[in-house]
């Protein structure tokens, strides 16, 4: 079993970051559309904060990209990560969830931000 984990939201952040960069859009443009500081928006893309559904829709509209295209890219990325056993994609336990205390503490290293981006880029290069 792979000991590296990431969340669906982290994958979403990488997908949106890659689409944004491919379109030549700056983080500050999307942060303004969301009413966030650039630093707060950066945490969304890096997986340190979780995208809401509202934020995903606003980002897609600001980039003129279909939400369905974003979701399809997330789904494809998740499948590729799991198929190649790079990382496991799971919902992280929440502190207020009833099962959070019963979750194994040795699930592995959580991968987000630049590390996840590097893994996805490396996988795409294969």
Domain containing 97 equals 4-125
For residue 91, what pLDDT is reported? 74
Q: Quick check: 2 pLDDT over 90?
A: no
For residue 38, what pLDDT is reported? 95
Which residues are paired to 6 by β-bridges? 89
Give the count of domains, the chain: 1
Q: Per residue in 67-107, pLDDT tens?
A: 999 999 999 998 888 888 767 777 766 665 555 555 444 44
Q: Per residue in 13-59, pLDDT tens?
A: 999 999 999 999 999 999 999 999 999 999 999 888 889 999 999 99
Write the DSSP symbol of residue 49.
S
Alpha-helix runs per DSSP H in the chain = 8-22, 27-34, 38-46, 53-63, 67-83, 113-125
CATH of the domain at 115: 1.10.260.40
């Amino acid at each position: 079993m792979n000991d590296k984990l990431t969340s669906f939201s982290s994958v979403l952040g990488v997908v949106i970051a890659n689409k944004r960069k491919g379109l030549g859009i700056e983080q500050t443009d999307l942060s303004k559309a969301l009413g966030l500081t650039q630093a707060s928006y950066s945490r969304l893309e890096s997986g340190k904060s979780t995208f809401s559904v509202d934020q995903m829709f606003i980002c897609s509209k600001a980039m003129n990209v279909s939400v369905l295209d974003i979701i399809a890219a997330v789904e494809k990325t998740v499948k590729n990560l799991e198929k190649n056993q790079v990382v496991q994609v799971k919902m992280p336990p929440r502190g207020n969830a009833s099962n959070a205390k019963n979750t194994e503490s040795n699930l592995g290293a959580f991968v987000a931000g630049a590390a996840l981006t590097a893994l996805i880029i490396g996988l795409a290069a294969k």
